[in-house]
Amino acid sequence: MVFDCAIFKTVEAGDHVILIGEVKGFEAATAPGLGYARGAYFTPAVEAEALSQGAHLVVSALIERAGEVLLVDDGNGGLTLPQRPVGREGASQALLQLLETSGLNADPGFIYSVFEDSGHLHQHISFLCQAADGAPKQGCFTPLTESTLMEVTDPALRIMLERFARESRLGNYGVFYGTQVSGDVRKIVPDKIVSER
């Protein structure tokens, strides 16, 4: 099921805010839903299969500043996003550790992409983060030009960064979920989430 909700009420709960939504519309869909457990987002059916095959979760930070993105050496002569595997600490804590390691004052942001990489048995979550001034401890901020994107060796990350470059120009973002081959982009618009295939 896909629900179209408007914010009905917010409730302060310690260091969290609980959002209560008013359902404005819904539709049945065959695609698996997005779930949250133990500090990580997942698609239930694929997550269960991945866990049974020894898959693990990877968090990356899509750190943006003034139209440029922080890219680091991937160890194979190419570029990638800062990323790290998630252990028992959960995805949120792994992201905070990743940002701390970058040496930047960056806002943890929101989930930009969730996908399963069945070839490597990874589930990958990428957070869009905004950075303040300052030099990173590794890598550098780079505009997402065609030549820069060709240096990103992971095809799934390259496709995600190409989408980010397009959405940045328009100022209209969406959240991707799927596999490294195909998926769905849910556009983020006021009071509504729109599916784009």
Tens of pLDDT along 33-87?
666 554 555 554 444 444 434 457 889 999 999 889 999 999 889 999 999 988 8
pLDDT score for 49: 45
Residue in the structure block whose two tokens are 């195909």: 182
Res. 195: pLDDT tops 50: no
CA–CA separation, 157 and 175 (whole Å)? 14
Cβ atoms of residues 85 and 12 within 8 Å: no
Dump strand ranges (E) for the chain. Answer: 2-13, 16-27, 35-37, 40-42, 56-65, 68-73, 79-80, 83-85, 106-117, 122-131, 140-142, 174-179, 183-189, 192-196
pLDDT score for 175: 60
pLDDT score for 63: 93
pLDDT score for 10: 87
Residue type, 76: N
pLDDT score for 36: 57
Q: Could you tell me if residue 39 is left (phi over 0), alpha (psi between -120 and 50 degrees) or otherwise beta?
A: left
> Where along the chain do its domains lie?
1-30, 31-196
Residues 105-137 have pLDDT tens digits of 988 888 888 877 656 567 888 888 989 889 999
pLDDT score for 11: 86
User: Helix, strand, coil: what percent of the chain each, to 5?
Assistant: 20, 50, 30
Structure-block tokens of residue 48:
């269960």
Residues 134-189 have pLDDT tens digits of 999 999 999 999 999 999 988 888 888 998 888 887 666 666 555 555 555 656 54
CA–CA separation, 114 and 135 (whole Å)? 28
Looking at domain 31-196, what is its CATH homologous superfamily? Nucleoside Triphosphate Pyrophosphohydrolase (3.90.79.10)
What is each CA distance from 40 to 34, 44, 114, in whole angstroms? 10, 12, 10
Structure-block tokens of residue 4:
């179209």
Res. 197: pLDDT tops 50: no
CA–CA separation, 50 and 177 (whole Å)? 15
